Amino acid sequence: MKFGKRLDTLERNIHVREYTPPIIIHTIVEPSENGPKEIGVFANMLLEGSYQRIDLELGKTHTEYEKNINEYVKYFSKSNAHN
């Protein structure tokens, strides 16, 4: 087998996983008389080739935030599949 043909075969068989960046949920707090007060929650996610800020509702648990973010990901995945 010639080198070029072997290289083509190897490159064809390589499965490269797509990088999935971690989802970091940012909580914005400000000082108050009763201690720190949560005033906002958001996540920056790589969707459709650029970072998008997703504002989340206050007062939910971390699990509920993750569920909400996963719904956004599913929505954008479906919209990309139809394009």
Q: What is the mean pLDDT of residues 41-46?
A: 83
Domain ranges of the chain: 3-82
Report the C-alpha gap between 58 and 56 in whole angstroms: 7
User: What is the pLDDT, as a whole number, of residue 31?
Assistant: 92
- The span from the CA of 45 to the CA of 52, in Å, is 5
Q: Give the tens place of pLDDT for each residue, 7-40.
A: 888 888 777 667 666 778 888 889 989 999 888 8
pLDDT classification of 82: cutoffs 50, 70, 90 = low
Task: Round the average pLDDT of the chain to a whole number and report it.
Answer: 79
Residue 83 has pLDDT above 70, yes or no: no
